[in-house]
């Protein structure tokens, strides 16, 4: 095993030590445009359902279903694409997920009633779930060890621009007086544009060197890909050396057993559990933000509430994404995650417990903005990065897919139940639940997750044996 570990480490050394270059950013941009679209499509529905309520005569149950069905469908997409990535390869899956998303977004724009829109939003969600599983793994397997957090984080940070685009486009349509009967169709249909722009690039991207070597044992193809990424540094080794890695954590033998045994079962509980928890809070508050702001300001207009959402995303959420990107490889994933959960808990608890905080507009908005900053400079970012690093190559897609699926199931529950909880318990009840969820997130992060910062992907995933101890905890 020690010999295998040394061989694997040496084989990947040119990739691990490469400077971040044009090919890395090509992979990041190709993946990032998908995440821009994911965020836009998932969050624009909150505004669309407000517009559609009098048009389709929606009740509270139907609003909750429309707000949440894509998130439930994304569970299936993440599980399916995650598993198929490990069986068929990353490249064969990449691009199919955004093609499904494009079809779903276009069909959604032509919906004729509640049922048709619900069905088409299922397609959107399935594509979104697939994108979560594929993009993180592919970016991680191309990255070097020094900047892996920054590269994978940048992909996810594109979600922030999607968050801004939704309320910005909605505000333009509403402010310009575009008829409601047309504006909601335009809002949904525009979600197809950025995703369609990267389908070709995704289908042309090369298979990751980690998959071609660690799973297929194909040194020739791996060497070509490493040279393509690094420019001119050749990969050393031969097919015999690569084949000898089969049966280790990176090989095919015992894939199922490895995912369900230590340390990977504990890691899976950590990644899936923390992603589940953050998405309850993030999507519960974000998808239902028009309803929450309506409860805060009963006499406010849809335009004013949309502009407030835009301001919160611009001032708090978007900077949070990029602060996280800048510090992932300095502070570490684990520290950023548990600290983010902790500040979220304090902010949500303050809204729930401070007398008048849920009724005073400025007090509420300040606390809400603080929570959004630490959602992004915290677990919303790190739960995306973690699963792409701490599972071996042969089960990385499956581990990532299960984690993303758990997150999106949490998002589904948050988006489904917040409208009902808001009616029965008000803003204080909603944010009290979110505070409790965040406390559990702190505990789970500290107990179940390792720190992969600064380690090679093979060490971080325990694929080649004990990893060096990272500085941040």
Task: Note the pLDDT tens digit of each residue in 305-320.
Answer: 888 888 888 899 899 9
Closest alpha carbon to 89 in 227, 263, 221: 221
* Domain assignment of residue 469, yes or no: no
* Domain assignment of residue 192, yes or no: yes
CA distances in angstroms from 418 to 70, 287, 423, 473, listed in the order given: 16, 9, 8, 34
**According to the model, what pLDDT value does residue 265 have?**
92
* Domain assignment of residue 307, yes or no: yes
Half-sphere exposure of residue 223: CA atoms within 13 angstroms, side-chain side: 10
Reported pTM = 0.86
Task: Give the domain range for residue 289.
Answer: 2-460
List the end-to-end C-alpha distance of the chain, in Å, as a whole number. 28
Task: Note the pLDDT tens digit of each residue in 218-241.
Answer: 888 888 888 888 876 544 444 434
Q: Which residue has the tokens 């849920």?
A: 358
Closest alpha carbon to 166 in 31, 5, 38, 8: 38
* Domain assignment of residue 473, yes or no: no
Task: Note the pLDDT tens digit of each residue in 380-419.
Answer: 999 999 999 999 998 999 999 999 999 999 998 998 888 8
Say whether pLDDT at 242 is over 50.
Answer: no
Do residues 48 and 206 touch, judged by C-beta distance below 8 A? no
* Domain assignment of residue 465, yes or no: no
**According to the model, what pLDDT value does residue 245 have?**
44
Task: Note the pLDDT tens digit of each residue in 263-293.
Answer: 899 999 999 999 999 999 998 888 778 788 8
Number of domains within the chain: 1
Say whether pLDDT at 248 is over 80.
Answer: no
CATH of the domain at 54: 1.20.1250.20
* Domain assignment of residue 268, yes or no: yes
* Domain assignment of residue 422, yes or no: yes
Task: Note the pLDDT tens digit of each residue in 25-40.
Answer: 888 888 888 888 888 8
Q: In the predicted model, what is the mean pLDDT of residues 201-207?
A: 85
* Domain assignment of residue 36, yes or no: yes
């Amino acid at each position: 095993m020690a010999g295998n570990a040394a061989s694997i480490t040496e084989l990947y050394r040119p990739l691990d030590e490469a400077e971040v270059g044009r090919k890395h950013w090509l992979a990041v941009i190709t993946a990032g445009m998908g995440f821009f679209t994911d965020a836009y499509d998932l969050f624009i529905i909150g505004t669309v359902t407000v517009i559609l309520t009098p048009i389709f005569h929606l009740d509270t149950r139907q609003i909750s279903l429309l707000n949440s069905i894509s998130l439930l469908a994304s569970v299936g997409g993440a599980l399916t694409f995650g598993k198929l990535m490990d069986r068929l390869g990353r490249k064969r899956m990449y691009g199919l997920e955004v093609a499904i998303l494009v079809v779903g977004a276009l069909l959604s724009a032509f919906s004729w009633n509640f049922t048709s829109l619900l069905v088409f939003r299922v397609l959107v969600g399935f594509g979104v779930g697939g994108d979560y599983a594929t993009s993180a793994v592919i970016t991680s397997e191309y990255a070097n060890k020094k900047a892996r957090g920054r590269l994978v984080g940048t992909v996810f940070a594109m979600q922030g621009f999607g968050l801004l685009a939704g309320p910005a486009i909605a505000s333009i349509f509403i402010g310009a007086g575009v008829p409601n009967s047309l504006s909601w169709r335009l809002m949904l249909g525009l979600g197809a544009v950025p995703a369609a722009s990267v389908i070709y690039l995704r289908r042309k991207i090369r298979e990751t060197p980690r998959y071609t070597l660690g799973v297929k044992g194909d040194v020739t193809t791996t060497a070509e890909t490493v040279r393509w990424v690094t420019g001119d540094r050749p990969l050393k080794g031969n097919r015999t050396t690569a084949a000898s890695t089969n049966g280790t954590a990176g090989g095919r033998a015992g894939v199922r057993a490895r995912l369900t045994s230590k340390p990977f079962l504990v890691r899976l509980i950590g990644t899936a559990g923390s992603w589940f928890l953050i998405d309850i809070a993030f999507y519960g508050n974000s998808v239902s933000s028009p309803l929450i702001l309506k409860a805060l300001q009963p006499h406010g207009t849809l335009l004013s509430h949309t502009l407030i959402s835009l301001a919160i995303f611009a001032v708090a959420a978007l900077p949070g994404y990029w602060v996280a990107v800048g510090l992932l490889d300095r502070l570490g994933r684990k520290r950023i995650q548990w600290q983010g959960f902790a500040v979220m808990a304090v902010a949500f608890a303050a809204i729930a417990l401070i007398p008048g905080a849920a009724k005073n507009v400025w007090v509420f908005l300040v606390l809400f903005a603080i929570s959004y900053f630490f959602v992004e400079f915290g677990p919303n970012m790190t739960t995306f990065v973690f699963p792409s690093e701490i599972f071996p190559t042969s089960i990385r897609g499956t581990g990532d897919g299960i984690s993303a699926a758990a997150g999106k199931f949490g998002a589904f529950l948050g988006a489904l139940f917040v409208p009902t909880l808001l009616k029965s318990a008000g803003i204080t009840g909603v944010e009290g639940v979110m505070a409790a969820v965040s406390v559990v997130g702190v505990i789970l992060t500290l107990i179940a997750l390792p720190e992969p910062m600064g380690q090679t992907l093979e060490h971080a995933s325990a694929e080649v044996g004990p990893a060096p101890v990272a500085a941040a905890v």
